[in-house]
Amino acid sequence: MQDLFKYINNNSRFAFGYEPEFNNRTNHNTNHTRVTWQEFNRINSRSTTPVKGLTFKPDGSQADVEMDLPVLADCNMAWEYLRDCFKIAIDNNSFVNTECSSHVHISTLPILPSLTNEQFTRKSIEMKAQFNDVNFDHYLEKPSNLAQLFVVNKQIPLDVIKDIGWRLSKHIDFFGSTIARSRRDGYFCRYPKTPQEILRARPTVEDLRSVFNHRATSYKYSALNVNHYNVKKTIEFRSHGGTLEYRKLITWFKFLSNIVDHSLQQRFRAHTVQQELTSPSYIGRSANTTKSLVWAFCRGQARSTREIMEHCNINNPQSVRRTFSEIRQNEHYKPFVVTHNQQEFGVDYGTSLDHGDNGYEILVTKTVDVPSDNLTLNSEQLGNSELIAGLDNQTLADLNERIRQLN
């Protein structure tokens, strides 16, 4: 399960959803008339280049308007999409103040391995755009839609979520330095209880939502909110203030996703279980390719390189070796490939002239150790709890600049 969340080319594999809030009010000094959330939807729909999947709605707390955005993944397409959404608000004299916030949900389900971040983002936007037309509450509430984007039978365990909350509490002063003063232990984003109290909590939603809020005004109003873990399959970070500067939210997401990633990948280890694998009868899309012919000929029996050349019409030993090297590059096929030396075929060491006397075998079955979804806190990593542990240099520099400006 940890492998499903591993970063690819320094891009996070955690899907996320932003909830940006902003204000828009009549200003007699500038002759600006308030734009309502309904009018924002009309402005977008009537545009020559409407932003797909974007809807505006009333905010449930203090701000005037909230953006309802698709779930996105870390890529340029997602950040450009966010920029285009904010431009509509900016072009119509919107603003933010201490009444506004920018909550971010991070998915506890992994993105489908078959989807790149760009493909995920494009598909998610299209799906939400279609659902807007038929007025569904949320396009991912439909299980068949969720399964088109996520691995639905894998979820980050609550033990890992507990560790994230514990690290947040342990380094709460640093966390506070990354957000505006008005958002530090604010009414809508209360800080967690002490690290000791979190350690004593059971890894259940009920226990964690209690220890993640030291005042219990509402468990939803926690800096780290776990209320959505079972239904929306997310955890929510609620401490960021309102902003219409999308680049600030890039830094904020990368900071938060790294916190989650560090707990999952570095502070926990997966138990392994033995699993018996069976090799396929052929590989690739056809049984008639050279690789498939070689695979089938060697499956269940050791064959010399010369036998393989003759049976599969291959010209030289180097081509046989190259074929098996290419087969081994596939992680699914690699465990079944066995190399045999020339002595196993009755040829004395040092007497072969062209490396044609060694051989290969494709095992029919193979018992391997595979990681399970059962994770245990790794005692060797317990000291590495800092919120910036593992953060890339560019995001760390951006975060430090953010801290400097806020303080």
Q: Tell me which of 222 and 136 has the higher pLDDT.
A: 222
Q: Which domains does the chain have, with CATH numbers?
A: 2-270+376-406 (3.30.590), 280-363 (1.10.10)
Pairing of β 365-377 and β 16-22: unpaired
Indicate whether 376 pLDDT > 60. Answer: yes
- Any idea which residue has 């060697």 for tokens? 298
Nearest Cα residue to 47 out of 108, 109, 92: 92
Read off the pLDDT of residues 214-270 as tens digits, 9 standing for 90 and up: 986 678 899 999 999 999 999 999 999 999 999 999 999 999 999 999 999 999 988
Residue 301, both tokens: 């029996």
Task: Give residue 133's pLDDT band: very low, low, confident or very high (50, 70, 90).
Answer: low
Q: Residue 286, SS3? A: coil
Report the alpha-carbon distance of residue 33 to residue 35 in Å, rounded.
Answer: 6
Task: Give residue 377's pLDDT band: very low, low, confident or very high (50, 70, 90).
Answer: confident
Report the alpha-carbon distance of residue 49 to residue 362 in Å, rounded.
Answer: 56
Backbone dihedral angles phi then psi of residue 330, each to the nearest 5 degrees: -90, 120
Evaluate whether 213 touches 197 at the Cβ level (below 8 Å).
no
What is the share, in percent, of the chain residues with pLDDT greater than 70? 95
Q: Tell me which of 284 and 385 has the higher pLDDT.
A: 385
Nearest Cα residue to 273 out of 378, 368, 154, 157: 368
Read off the pLDDT of residues 321-364 as tens digits, 9 standing for 90 and up: 999 999 999 988 999 999 998 888 877 776 666 667 789 999 99
Task: Give residue 290's pLDDT band: very low, low, confident or very high (50, 70, 90).
Answer: very high
What is the rounded average pLDDT for all residues in the chain?
91
Report the run of H or E that residue 224 belongs to, with start and end: strand 224-225
Pairing of β 102-107 and β 337-340: unpaired
Q: Supply the Cα-derived Rg of the chain in whole angstroms.
A: 27
Euclidean distance between the first and the last CA atom of the chain, given in angstroms as a whole number? 39
Indicate whether 109 pLDDT > 80. Answer: yes
Cα angle 376, 259, 373; round to 5: 30
Type of residue at 133: D
Report the alpha-carbon distance of residue 39 to residue 300 in Å, rounded.
Answer: 69
Report the alpha-carbon distance of residue 32 to residue 34 in Å, rounded.
Answer: 6
Indicate whether 5 pLDDT > 60. Answer: yes
Identify the pLDDT of residue 136: 41
Evaluate whether 377 touches 163 at the Cβ level (below 8 Å).
yes
Report the alpha-carbon distance of residue 208 to residue 214 in Å, rounded.
Answer: 11
Report the alpha-carbon distance of residue 374 to residue 163 in Å, rounded.
Answer: 15
Report the alpha-carbon distance of residue 347 to residue 84 in Å, rounded.
Answer: 69
